[in-house]
Structures are given as C-alpha cells and as structure tokens.
Amino acid sequence: VFSKIFSHEALESYLPKIQLVIKDTLRAWSSNPEPINVYHEAQTLTFRMAIRVLLGFRIPDEELGRLFEVYQQFVENVFSLPMDLPFSGYRRGIRARETLQKGLEKAIQEKLQNTQGKDYADALDILIESGKEHGKELTMQELKDGTLELIFAAYATTASASTSLIMQLLKHPRVLEKLREELRSKGILHNGCICEGSLRLDTIGGLHYLDCVIKEVLRLFTPISGGYRTVLQTFELDGFQIPKGWSVMYSIRDTHDTAPVFKDVDVFDPDRFGQGRSEDKEGRFHYLPFGGGVRTCLGKHLAKLFLKALAIELASTSRFELATRTFPKITLVPVLHPVDGLKVKFFGLDSNQNEILTGTDALLGATV
C-alpha cells in the first residue's frame, strides 16, 4: 500500500512542491541577521516538507509551529523506558502522540472534505487510493498511524543528512564549486539563477557529480547506526554460532568503516563513487546507508531527491559561512548531528550573485 507513495510518478509530482519549500526556507535563513542553528532549522524544514508536500495539509503557520513543538516532544521520548509513571519520558511521549493524533485527525478530515484547488496527488491521496485498489478502505485510525509514520520517516534522518550536507559543503568549497560547474554545464544554472522549468526528475538523475556528493555524505555521515533483524535459521559467522530466533543488529557505520572497497575511509571524497572508481559497486552490502535486502528503506528515493534539491539550491542561490571559530563535534544519538547544531550565517544574493546588504552594512555602503 505504501510503495506507490514513492513511485517515479509520485516523486515527479512532489518535486516542484519540495523546491518551493526549500526556496522559501533558504530565503528565510538569508533574511535572518543572526546565524542559524542548521540542525534545528533542518528539522523544521523536513517537518514542513512532510506536512505541506507529502500530506498536503493546509495548516496555518502558527498552528504548524505548535504541532512541530508537540512532535519534537514525541520524538524526544520515543526511546524512553516503557515505564508509565507520572512525569516519565514515556508518559510525556504518549501524551504528545495523543495530541498529535488529534491534530492530524482534524487535518485529515478537513483534507477529505476540501478537495478543491489541488494540482497534484500527495502521498496521503495516493495512500488512500492504493488502499482501495487493494480492497481495503483505510480507517481513520489507520490514516492517522500512516500519517504519523510518514512524518517520522521524513523527519529526523533527513534533517541529519541535510545538516551533514551543509557542513561538508562548508568544509570543502571545491566540492561546492564543482557542483556549480555541473549545474552550469547541464544548463540548470545560468547567470546565478536556476533556469525555469529545468529541474525535472530525469534532469536531476543525470547530475552524476551531485549523486556522488550525496552518496559520500550518506557514507561518511549515515544518520542512523544500523538496524535489527531476527535470525530465521541458525548460522555461523567467523566461528560464532548465531541461533535461530535471536535478534541481531547490523551496523551501517561499522560496515562503511571496514568495507575493504573504500579507500581512505575517513576522507570526504565524492569522486570515489565516480565512473572511474565506483567503489560502491564492488560488493552488494558494502554500502548500505538505507539498509539492505527486502526491508531496505522504502523512502530512500524521496530522501535522496530532497537532499539533491537542497544541494542544488545551496549551490545556485546561496552563500553561507561558518559562524563559529571551529566546526562542532558530532554526536551519534539519537541520530547523527553536530552537538551545537552547526551555526551558520546565510547571506541573501541578488540575480548577479552579489550579496544583498541589509541594516547597518547597507547604510554604510559596506562591500563584502
């Protein structure tokens, strides 16, 4: 039922809406006179993308902000101990989920009643229709659960990868310039602007260096550490017997660190995925940022599309710089992210890629 949400046709219809959300967000970042906390803002961006694009909810900004705060409380307590006591994280998480589901039910009902003015089928539309095609009309509870699952899947890991992407572009200006060169060569970037109508799914799919950059971000900074599986039959691994029925965890990060195909594993090197080297093609499970096998991440193509759209906007219409003296340390829990959130100053640009001066700088006629 969920698979159609991430089909080629569905992704094509989401793309213009994703672009719009990213453009509006970068415009807001650039108009802020103070540095922004990238990780927090990336969480807001991915939450807004899930609500506006995937689910098609027309929730006012003020109400959306309140829903985001409740959602953060829900996420913060997902991994709490299951002890239903007053003031426990578990109790706070349960209450947050109940509040969320009330808000989502209201949004779903309004959406089902108001179908006017829609110019594309969002994920919730597709989910409802896909259920009917399989002979199962989804109940309101199933719709609420499916909606919350979609938000959860699009939120934390994509915000983590978005933050890592921005940090690596800051650390490696040559990579950023090489991205710009590819966009110019493909006719996407011209005179400091993205050519209208140039971004389609097949066009983005043809940006090979961009694909290498996103792959390398996900190799070196995989948002989650691994996944769990149940042993279906007893087997032996490196002299150790693993009994049937055991629960085992595979480690994505350790795999990327130890896979023999990757040279200089600690170096950020997008060219390792280029045609000349193709280091990820040497083995089926050497590179698995989205897991592997039958239960590989269902939304991986949407996640990569979002990251590519963000990278294109960053390379085309933004200038940004680190707002701290050094880059922050990285923490791995609950998903990989910078400890201080990565503080960055964004600058507004005009059509000629010159900075738009604001406030005191503009009054003094300062040049940057």
Residue 4 predicted with pLDDT over 80:
yes
Evaluate whether 151 touches 74 at the Cβ level (below 8 Å). no
* CATH number of the CATH domain containing 323: 1.10.630.10
Residue ranges for the binding site? 297
* Per-residue confidence (pLDDT) for residue 354, from 0 to 100: 57
Q: Determine, yes or no, domain membership for 283.
A: no
Please choose, from the candidates 46, 43, 44, 37, the residue with its C-alpha nearest in 3D space to the C-alpha of residue 342.
37
* pLDDT tens digit sequence for 35-82: 999 999 999 999 999 999 999 998 999 999 999 999 999 999 988 899
Angle among Cα 32, 34, 37 to the nearest 5 degrees reads: 95
The answer to whether residue 145 sits within a structural domain is: yes
Chain center to CA of 181: 24
318 in a structural domain: yes
For the cut 50, the answer to whether the pLDDT of residue 360 exceeds it is no
In a domain, 264, yes or no: no
The tens digit of pLDDT for each residue in 274-307 reads: 988 989 887 888 999 999 888 889 899 999 999 9
pLDDT at 191 over 80: no
Q: Which residues are annotated as a binding site for heme?
A: 297
Instruction: Report the C-alpha dihedral over residues 273, 278, 281, 283, rounded to 10 degrees.
Output: -90
Which residues does residue 320 pair with via DSSP β-bridges, in sequence order?
A: 346
d(CA 29, CA 43): 14
Tell me how many domains the chain contains.
1
Instruction: Tell whether 18 is covered by a domain.
Output: yes
Mean pLDDT of 311-324: 95
Structural domain including 49 reads: 4-56+122-220+295-347
Kindly state the greatest CA–CA separation across the chain.
Answer: 74
Question: Does residue 327 belong to any structural domain of this protein?
Answer: yes
- State how far the Cα of 348 lies from the Cα of 31, in Å rounded to an integer: 6
Give the Cβ contact number of residue 156 at 10 Å.
21
pTM as predicted: 0.91
CA–CA separation, 187 vs 121, rounded Å? 29
228 within a domain of the structure (yes/no): no
